[in-house]
Structure 1
Amino acid sequence: MPLEHALQFRGRFPDSGAWKLPRSQPVRLSEPLGIGHLPAQRVRRSKRKPYVFNLMVVGDSGLGKTTFLNSLFNAPLSSEDAPRAPLSQTATVDIRPQTYELIEDGVILHLTVIDTPGFGDKLNRQDDFQPVSDYIESQYTKYHECERSDEMRKDIIDTRVHALLYFIPPTGNGLRDLDIEFMQRLCTKVNIIPVIGKADALMFEESSAFKKMILKDFQRNDIRVYPTFHSDERETVAEIEKHMPFAVIGSDEFIDAEGGKKVRGRMYRWGAVEVENPKHNDFVFLRDMVIRTNLQDLIETTHTIHYALFRSSKIRGSVVGRPESIIASDEIYDQQVEGAQLNAKAEMQRKEDELKSNFVLKIREKEQQLREREEALKAKQIQLNEEIERMRMQLDV
């Protein structure tokens, strides 16, 4: 523990041993003190400050995104003050944030809906991703600058995108290349929630098969969507995943349901489709996840995962070669040691190969010298034999 403490604080503080709270001793109260009211106090304090939730909506035109949002928040969120330009005049994707104040039981929610008209409307869609990605990163940059400012740090206005609803057209043929590339690029920057728009265009069997195709495309292309990845509400993930991707419909019209009740829905020749009927679509499950069960988790995961990744990259980029953490320092040290060992091993191998080659060369030179001596001796022996034979012939005469 002391060594870990020293490594963490790099000697800036004296060694305090194990930096944990002292072991608490249970005490039996003779009478109530009111500790049980602490959660209620936190609830009252939390209601004083409005909650902030920023929702981006991305998808092709004509998928009913605006109508769906009106149904999701049960309020007319569509804005008529900024009419959309004709398709022929659309040069790039337009980013349009619009903020609304929703009040329920004393809780105030500042909801910002970021629409992206023009996405996927042109034949050449290679530039449609960049405006969305730039907007998300620009909000991270603004938040990071406020954190570094002593004046702004106490009251930072959170404009970061907490969730991105990506609308998939009901083609029934799996994800398009546009869908795959977009979600691959942004799934590490923001919580992407896949949504099949205008799901009433698909039969139940077609919708089920389409969902299976999309899930296979997610796994095949390593697309990390929410809440399967990043969510801390693990006890609700399994139930939510049964309905992913969410096949939804939206409607601004109210129709008569059973019992004379007015509900949001659409009337067709073959019957009616109710927006909030779980037998007709997944609208209820998506609304419960985004608002009732996982809204706070979406905000927290944006800060602790996506923004933290952005912030760490900025910090590492400000100092060249700066490690991300002590563990990263240990990894760098291990890599350096391993590299030195590999270099030493390579140098030893080189020297060994050099000695072997020199030894072989000397052996060959020695063999060549011996071969030459042997040939010289053979030639001298032949010469002596010839002289002996000549002398013997002279004696015989």
Structure 2
Amino acid sequence: MPLEYALQFRGLNPDPGPWKLPRSVTLRPNSSLGIAELPKQQAKRSKKRPYAFNLMVAGESGLGKTTFLNTLFNAPLTEKIAPQNLFASKTVEINPTTFELTEDGVTLFLTVIDTPGFGDQLNRETNFEPIINYIEKQHDKYLAAERSQEIRGNIPDTRVHALLYFLPPTGINRMNDLDVEFLQRICSKVNVIPVIAKADALAPEEVSLYKKAILRDFEQYDIRAYPTFHAEDREFIAELEQHIPFTVIGSDKLINVNGKMVRGRSYRWGNVEVENPLHCDFVHLRELLIGTNMQDLIDTTHSIHYATYRGQKIRGNGRPESFLACDDFYESRIENAKRNLADEMQKKEEAMRQRFVAKVREKEQSLREREEALNNTRQKMLEELEALRKTVEAEEVAYNELVSAKQKK
């Protein structure tokens, strides 16, 4: 690599392109080495390491962002992250707060990044900069850590993995200009997940029309929301995409619904349940953030948004395009290797299952044959015993007749 770099700038090799890696040779061990246990070892080891997930929330004040987070993670987060005065600051503040959540031996360091003051000023031109600067600053920290020899082995990840953007429940036929401009600028830097706050303020028909209007604006202004864009793990995407943008209802209180205490709100006209899919999309959003795509949000932040930012920084420093291509080539090889390993593991699991089923069926057939043989032997012995009984009875009758004949004589 240093020689290629030197030759490039001497003009002898203007564009060497990605360096060629030696081709690997496929070998099949004659006996098991235990290589197939590596994914299990990795899973066991990863469970011991704490995970980090950084979630930013943005939107106008009064939309219930902190109450929603408290509901989402089923933990008392509200008192920690709620601002003291919503309108005291003249600029947008960035308030990251980290919580340690533990479940079944897995530890998650959840960092919630609140943005109080967003959209509260009459002049909103400067509302975007603090948020964009914070996201880019975390990328800068990670890039500096990659270049450092001291902490490169274990880089603390403070990059924003997801941005929940809360839209007001206006029910009108389009988004306001603030939302459009901000989402246009931010969607290329972070995974944006649009959320319609306080959905209980809208009728079902209004929710449907509002969602369609928002999706039309997304398409018109090229706003790329997650998971439609950027998501790599698309196994559950088709089911979740139909709920975008997600309608949510936040509540810290438990209400009685048919004798069961659930999170919700009580009104004169009835009850609204947070976790009822008929009332809002809270359960689908929680499934996306925590149940199915949390790791994918972390991965896409690194492989898409951070990689784009890193590439721009490197290009700004005059690094040759060929070296950037080498980085992309290496990362693509790693991703393909991971994907191939997962596919191979699935195939091996399926083959093992098939072999197990075949052995069970073979054993069942053997047992049935043995049972049938035992039944045949038992039947044959019963028949022999019956024949022997008849012979003994015949001999006994003959003996009695002989004794009677002798007595008469």
Same fold by TM (over 0.5)?
Answer: yes
- Which of 320, 323, 327 in structure 1 is aligned with 2:321? 323
How far apart are residue 234 of structure 1 and its match? 1.9
Q: Which stretches in structure 2 are left out of the alignment for 5+ residues?
A: 1-7, 327-409
| Change beyond 3 A, Cα 1:86–1:291 | closer
The corresponding residue for 2:187 is 187
Match runs of 1:238-387 below 5 Å: 238-258=238-258, 260-319=259-318, 322-323=320-321
The corresponding residue for 1:127 is 126
| Change beyond 3 A, Cα 1:83–1:286 | closer
How far apart are residue 235 of structure 1 and its match? 2.4
Distance between the aligned counterparts of 2:315 and 2:285, measured in 1?
37
> 2:160, 2:190 within 8 Å by CA — same for their partners in 1?
yes
Q: Report the 3-state secondary structure (helix = DSSP H, G, I; strand = E; otherwise coil) of the residue aligned with 1:103.
A: strand
How far apart are residue 8 of structure 1 and its match? 12
Q: Report the 3-state secondary structure (helix = DSSP H, G, I; strand = E; otherwise coil) of the residue aligned with 1:154.
A: coil
Could you tell me the TM-score, scaled by structure 2's length?
0.72
How far apart are residue 11 of structure 1 and its match? 9.4
The aligned amino acid for 2:132 is: S
1:22 maps onto 2:25 in alignment: yes
How far apart are residue 124 of structure 1 and its match? 1.1
Distance between the aligned counterparts of 1:8 and 1:66, measured in 2?
55
Provide Cα deviations, 1:138-197, integer angstroms capped at 9, x if missing partner: 000011000000001112110000000000001111211000000100100000000000
Number of paired residues? 314
How far apart are residue 81 of structure 1 and its match? 8.1
Q: Report the 3-state secondary structure (helix = DSSP H, G, I; strand = E; otherwise coil) of the residue aligned with 2:252.
A: coil
Distance between the aligned counterparts of 2:117 and 2:72, measured in 1?
22
The aligned amino acid for 2:97 is: Q
The aligned amino acid for 2:199 is: A
> 2:95, 2:114 within 8 Å by CA — same for their partners in 1?
yes
How far apart are residue 305 of structure 1 and its match? 0.3
Q: Report the 3-state secondary structure (helix = DSSP H, G, I; strand = E; otherwise coil) of the residue aligned with 1:38.
A: helix
Distance between the aligned counterparts of 2:99 and 2:324, measured in 1?
44
The corresponding residue for 1:160 is 159
> 1:316, 1:324 within 8 Å by CA — same for their partners in 2?
no
1:42 maps onto 2:42 in alignment: yes
Provide Cα deviations, 1:199-219, integer angstroms capped at 9, x if missing partner: 000011110110000000000
Q: Report the 3-state secondary structure (helix = DSSP H, G, I; strand = E; otherwise coil) of the residue aligned with 2:79.
A: coil
Greater displacement, 300-309 / 70-79: 70-79
Q: Report the 3-state secondary structure (helix = DSSP H, G, I; strand = E; otherwise coil) of the residue aligned with 2:78.
A: coil
The aligned amino acid for 1:183 is: L
The aligned amino acid for 2:99 is: Y
> 1:84, 1:117 within 8 Å by CA — same for their partners in 2?
no
How far apart are residue 43 of structure 1 and its match? 1.8
The aligned amino acid for 1:323 is: E
The aligned amino acid for 2:101 is: L
> 1:276, 1:283 within 8 Å by CA — same for their partners in 2?
yes
> 1:56, 1:165 within 8 Å by CA — same for their partners in 2?
yes
How far apart are residue 324 of structure 1 and its match? 6.0
> 1:146, 1:152 within 8 Å by CA — same for their partners in 2?
yes
> 1:55, 1:165 within 8 Å by CA — same for their partners in 2?
yes
Distance between the aligned counterparts of 1:116 and 1:327, measured in 2?
37
> 1:57, 1:113 within 8 Å by CA — same for their partners in 2?
yes
Q: Which stretches in structure 1 are left out of the alignment for 5+ residues?
A: 1-5, 329-397
The corresponding residue for 1:69 is 69
The corresponding residue for 1:378 is none
The aligned amino acid for 1:281 is: C
Distance between the aligned counterparts of 1:246 and 1:12, measured in 2?
43
Q: Report the 3-state secondary structure (helix = DSSP H, G, I; strand = E; otherwise coil) of the residue aligned with 1:195.
A: strand
Q: Report the 3-state secondary structure (helix = DSSP H, G, I; strand = E; otherwise coil) of the residue aligned with 1:181.
A: helix
How far apart are residue 23 of structure 1 and its match? 2.8
Provide Cα deviations, 1:72-108, integer angstroms capped at 9, x if missing partner: 1010112358742352x32100000000000000000
The corresponding residue for 1:101 is 100
The corresponding residue for 1:354 is none
> 2:66, 2:81 within 8 Å by CA — same for their partners in 1?
no
How far apart are residue 55 of structure 1 and its match? 0.1
The corresponding residue for 2:343 is none
> 1:197, 1:249 within 8 Å by CA — same for their partners in 2?
yes
> 1:312, 1:324 within 8 Å by CA — same for their partners in 2?
no
How far apart are residue 12 of structure 1 and its match? 11
Could you tell me the TM-score, scaled by structure 1's length?
0.74
How far apart are residue 309 of structure 1 and its match? 0.5
The corresponding residue for 1:199 is 199
The corresponding residue for 1:337 is none
| Change beyond 3 A, Cα 1:35–1:326 | closer
Q: Report the 3-state secondary structure (helix = DSSP H, G, I; strand = E; otherwise coil) of the residue aligned with 1:251.
A: coil
> 1:94, 1:116 within 8 Å by CA — same for their partners in 2?
yes
How far apart are residue 327 of structure 1 and its match? 7.0
| Change beyond 3 A, Cα 1:9–1:177 | same
Aligned-pair identity (%):
58
1:175 maps onto 2:175 in alignment: yes
The corresponding residue for 1:225 is 225
The corresponding residue for 2:342 is none
Q: Report the 3-state secondary structure (helix = DSSP H, G, I; strand = E; otherwise coil) of the residue aligned with 1:147.
A: helix
The corresponding residue for 1:213 is 213
> 1:8, 1:326 within 8 Å by CA — same for their partners in 2?
no
